[in-house]
Amino acid sequence: MKYTIDKVLSHGFVMGSIKIDEISKHSDTKTSKEKEMNKFLSSIEKSVLELDNMNDDSYIMIQKLMIQDPLLKENGIKYINNGKTAREAINLVMSDIINSLEASSSDYLKERTNDILDVTKRLINNLGNKKKKTIDKPFILYTDNLLPSYVINNRDNLIGVIAKSGGYTSHSAILCRSFDIPYVIATIDCKNSDTACIDTRKNKIAINPDVDDMERYIEEINASKKFIKKAVNHKGFLFLANISLTSEIKKVLEYDFDGIGLYRTELIFMNSNRPLSFDEQYKIYSNVSLALGDRSVCFRTFDVGDDKKLKYLKTKSKGLNNYLENKDIFETQIKALLKSNIFGNVKIMFPMIETIEEFMELKNWTIKIAKENNYKIPPIGMMLETKKALENIKDFRSADFISLGTNDLCSELYHIDRMNRLNDFNEYLDDLLDKIKVVIDFCNKNNILLSVCGELASVKEVAVKFYKLGIRNLSVSPSMIQMLNSSYNEFISGN
């Protein structure tokens, strides 16, 4: 049986045995209030200890902060004092958080519900002393929702994921791309130990293929394994990477990217329930700069707002106003970024710019901080992702570089949501290319480096059109290196 993939969250071509994710059943025999309280508090301690012994720093930090949040303990104790079991208390506390996220109009925040479910599952599993089962051979998971910790715990043998739901910006998707695990959204009919083949090149899933198809898949998969995941010679072009986790830097270097075109720093801020200190941020940024060496790394200043709220930020809107409302936090980040420019390879980029006045206020603010602290002034640029900035592109001659953020730009121009932007790109692509041509001409005339860092750069068909239009620099997820190689080769061959 063959199925069409609804959505690709991480690319790949694999074949293996299916394991269906079964919902864990927990007994819930009610004990005394004191015993339930001890179980609850012990679960928190066990979960933190468990996370301390895991290696994925970025996501593990998020889980630890959630579990150590005083409100979790406070609200859990209240529920237990009102007669609930420890398991019921955990579920109720987490349900309150999930309900508030699901009520949001933001797809980004909705995708965070998986993180809460992940913490819930960990806490409940640690209420008892049941030993966790591990899988010691390669498998493809079929599940309703993929939890990030499942990816981390099974990364050695998890070769593919088919899920009924999930989002591109979820931590599960980011981890799968980081570990080169194909992750697709589809609903299929299967049972445990069925053979499945995931082929994102053709957007297909095959369940229990016949002998001829099986042999063909094995031959193609073996051939793909011989392909070295390394950037082809691309003189005059830049292959750049979009990353959110420090763990992804290993792939950036291994695949020989020219640098990082977009480092999303807001995930660092979302990892904490308080503002990060200068020293904490400097350590993170300087480690990235050190790892990249003579390759450039473009840090986007924290991009939070209507779709990514943090309780310690006075968030009113994206862009300049967001920084003006949080001056100390913004200045601390800028200082840490400036000091981390160890090799002169750091670039600073501002998101959601609408006018030249906004950009110049942030640029001059950054230069002032640099001069006051005797820091070298790095290249300072902007993400072009608003309709207003696009319409007034000729004003931005003072930008050292511009990166096209097609995600927000297309959503604003064509009134499409995050989920449909890639599915429906043929409906608006020609018009978008016409608009981008004006940007290319402007950047060429003013010697401004231009790149594309939005999701459209990851679509081969669109990447080739970007090249033909005159764009020479694309920034994509590290897992998309083969797509960059293929689109570049197609372009220079004239096909």
Which domains are seen in the chain, by residue range? Answer: 2-23+132-224 (3.50.30.10), 33-125 (1.10.274.10), 238-493 (3.20.20.60)
Residue 297 CA to residue 344 CA, distance in Å, equals 10
Residue 338 pLDDT: 98
Label the pairing between strands 346-350 and 296-300: parallel
Residue 446 pLDDT: 97
Residue 173 · residue 159 · CB < 8 Å: no
Going by pLDDT thresholds of 50, 70 and 90, the confidence category of residue 286 is very high
Res 138 pLDDT > 70: yes
Q: Which residue has the higher pLDDT, 10 or 184?
A: 184
Give the distance, in angstroms, between the CA of residue 270 and the centroid of all CA atoms in the same chain: 12
- The angle formed by the CA atoms of residues 99, 102 and 105, to the nearest 5 degrees, is 140
* Long-range contact pairs involving 291-295 (C-beta distance under 8 Å, separation at least 24): 291/249, 291/253, 292/249, 292/252, 292/253, 292/259, 292/260, 292/343, 292/345, 293/343, 293/345, 294/343, 294/345, 295/257, 295/258, 295/259, 295/260, 295/345
Q: Which residue has the higher pLDDT, 431 or 113?
A: 431
Residue 234 CA to residue 484 CA, distance in Å, equals 10
Residue 32 CA to residue 38 CA, distance in Å, equals 10
Burial of 260 (0-12, 13-18, 19+ CB in 10 A): buried
- The angle formed by the CA atoms of residues 139, 140 and 143, to the nearest 5 degrees, is 130
Residue 419 pLDDT: 47
For every residue of 417-458, DSSP letters joined together read -TTTTTTTGGGTHHHHHHHHHHHHHHHHHHT-EEEE-SGGGG
Q: What is the mean pLDDT of residues 108-126?
A: 76
Report which secondary-structure segment, H or E, holds 374.
none
pLDDT tens digits along 174-219: 788 878 899 999 999 999 999 999 998 788 999 999 988 889 889 8
Q: Which residue has the higher pLDDT, 133 or 135?
A: 135
- The angle formed by the CA atoms of residues 160, 407 and 240, to the nearest 5 degrees, is 70
pLDDT tens digits along 333-374: 999 999 999 999 999 999 999 999 999 999 999 999 999 999
Q: Which residue has the higher pLDDT, 21 or 106?
A: 21
Strands across the sheet containing 139-143: 2-4, 204-207, 195-199, 13-20, 139-143, 158-163, 183-185, 7-10
Res 65 pLDDT > 60: yes
Instruction: Work out the widest C-alpha separation in the chain, in whole angstroms.
Output: 75
Q: What is the mean pLDDT of residues 267-271?
A: 71
Q: Which of 230, 213, 313 is nearest to 266 (CA)?
A: 313
Tokens of 20: 């269906």
Question: Strand ranges (DSSP E) for 171-214?
Answer: 183-185, 195-199, 204-207
Residue 145 pLDDT: 86
Residue 67 pLDDT: 86
Burial of 107 (0-12, 13-18, 19+ CB in 10 A): middle
Res 76 pLDDT > 50: yes
Q: Which residue has the higher pLDDT, 56 or 390?
A: 390
What's the chain's average pLDDT? 86
pLDDT tens digits along 219-232: 888 877 766 689 99
Global pTM value: 0.72
- Count of positions (residues) in the chain: 495
pLDDT tens digits along 375-409: 999 999 999 999 999 999 999 999 999 999 998 89
For every residue of 242-272, DSSP letters joined together read EESSGGGHHHHHHTT-SEEEEEETHHHHHT-
Res 325 pLDDT > 90: no
Residue 425 pLDDT: 77
Res 312 pLDDT > 70: no
Tokens of 487: 């689109």
